[in-house]
Structure 1
Amino acid sequence: MDGTGGLRERKKLRTRKAISEAAITLFLERGYDAVSVADVAAAAEVSKRTLFAYFPTKDDLVLHRIADHQTEAARVVRGRSAGEAPLDALHRHLRAGLASRDPITGLCDHPQVVAFYRLTQSPAVQSAVGRYVSAGEAALAAALWETTPEPGPLAEVTARLGAGQILLVQRALAQANQAHIMGGMSADGRAPDALAEADHAFDLLRDGLAPYRG
């Protein structure tokens, strides 16, 4: 890339960051529903047209913070070790996330993360999260289908049902952790129960999702 191209790309990244930070700051100060796209554009000192070039919807101003995790489960399944069952890989990955206090697991008590958890409780944001989860389900279903050695007539629907159950369980576990953290519990204090609940959840999944338990 030449110097001009590199400068242009850095400018785009700075603009995207400025819009993102302005949006999150306003959302935390006033609440998601009380802030308009025009408010965010004004705070970031860009036009609405420029804002929409980076974030096509208001929801994206929040959800881009977790966008990297949208297809994470699918990546874990595809990147698992040879001989490792999909459910074992996902279970291991979740336990690692809990141990590292990854915010996506709900087990993080950093003040800024807790504030973000509260922000995502808005009904409008929750509705957007539902659409976000649907895309993640499709990606995971495709990854699970690829693990089937000799796909039969029910393999595709089995993969779709399995993906839905797995992501629903992960989301429920994260929401439980978030509720305790927002209620004032520390991440360290919550960790033993969070790990026990994760283990229990995956035991239940293994009982019902035989094709993916190894």
Structure 2
Amino acid sequence: MTAGLRELKRRQTRQAISDAATRLFLEYGFEAVTIAEIAIAAQVAKMTITNYFPRKEDLALDFHETFRGSLAAAFGSRREGESALAGLHREYLAAVARHDALAGFCGPDFARMVLGSPTLGARLRELHEQREEALAAALAAETAAPAGALTPRAAAALLAAAHRTLFHHALDLAAEGRTNRQIAATLSAATDEVFGLLGPSLADYAVRTAA
């Protein structure tokens, strides 16, 4: 088997496991479903599941790897003349426009499952913290801040808090049964409101200059 075919098979297996787990979680609740039951539904061995998903929570929150680095990636993609705040604001609005799961978009059943699970709630808090840390590291590197500097960490905390607030607002709206289109309309206004609060502190921080 060629490397390309192996990678395709790997992606297909991972997706099949994720799909089977999601179906069971939505039907029975996250806490009630076991890895053994997911293995039977996906027709794979239990060890195969743990090879792809070391933590059960990440079967439900399958975006965890991308989520951790999402704010740092948005910061890195800002345009010339854009501050960290402006770049992340623009990128978040773009995520809202495409109904991105990283911005909290999901179906009502999935949102209720997440909000009703203490385990998933704890994992989400951990993921939010990890992406804040990744953003702080990116800010420190780009601004050439000295080791231990507080400004990149404080700026990352404020920017991550804005994203966390909007993410959970999207979850709440989804759980209420709002459509993605309705959620996007509400979030667009909320995004401007929340990011606007940070303007006095961060409007001129980490502005990208010409290469």
Q: Which residue of 2 aligns with 1:160?
A: 153
Measure, in 2, the Cα distance between the counterparts of 1:4 and 1:189: 45
CA distance in 2: counterparts of 1:188 and 1:49, whole angstroms: 40
Which residue in the other structure is 2:20 paired with? 22
Output the CA distance in 2 between the equivalents of 1:190 and 1:6: 39
Equivalent position of 1:137 in the other structure:
132
1:119 aligns with 2:113: yes
Deviations 1:11-47 (A, max 9, x none): 2222212211111111011000000111111211222
Q: CA deviation at 1:71?
A: 0.9
Q: Distance in 2 between matches of 1:53 and 1:153?
A: 36
CA contact (8 A) 2:95 2:103 kept: yes
2:60 to 62, 65, 73: 62
| Distance of 1:115 and 1:198 partners within structure 2 | 24
Aligned Cα root-mean-square deviation (Å): 2.2
Q: Which moved more, 1:30-39 or 1:78-87?
A: 78-87
Distance in 2 (alpha carbons) for counterparts of 1:77 and 1:124: 30
Secondary structure, aligned partner of 1:188: helix
Give secondary structure in 2 for the equivalent of 1:132. helix
TM-score normalised per structure 1: 0.85
CA distance in 2, matches of 1:181, 1:15: 29
In the TM superposition, what whole-angstrom CA distance separates every residue of 1:42-85 from its partner, at most 9, and x where no partner exists?
A: 21122211211111111121222343232111111112112211
Deviations 1:171-211 (A, max 9, x none): 11121132123213334344444222211211211223365
Where do 5+ consecutive residues of structure 2 fail to align?
none
Q: Distance in 2 between matches of 1:14 and 1:188?
A: 30
Output the CA distance in 2 between the equivalents of 1:35 and 1:50. 17
**Residues 83 and 203 of structure 2 are in contact (CA less than 8 Å); yes or no, is this contact kept in structure 1?**
no
Question: Is the 8 Å Cα contact of residues 76 and 93 (structure 1) preserved in structure 2?
Answer: yes
TM-score (ref. length: structure 2)? 0.86
Question: Structure 1: 5+ residue runs without aligned partners?
Answer: none
Q: 2:40 aligns with which of 39, 42, 45?
A: 42
The answer (yes or no) to whether the contact 2:67–2:127 under 8 Å persists in 1 is no
Moved more, 69-78 or 31-40: 69-78
| 1:146 aligned partner, one-letter code | A
Name the aligned partner's letter for residue 140 of structure 1. L
Query: Within 1, Cα distance between the matches of 2:20 and 2:71?
Result: 30
- Structure 1 pair 205–146 and aligned structure 2 pair: CA distance change class (3 A): same
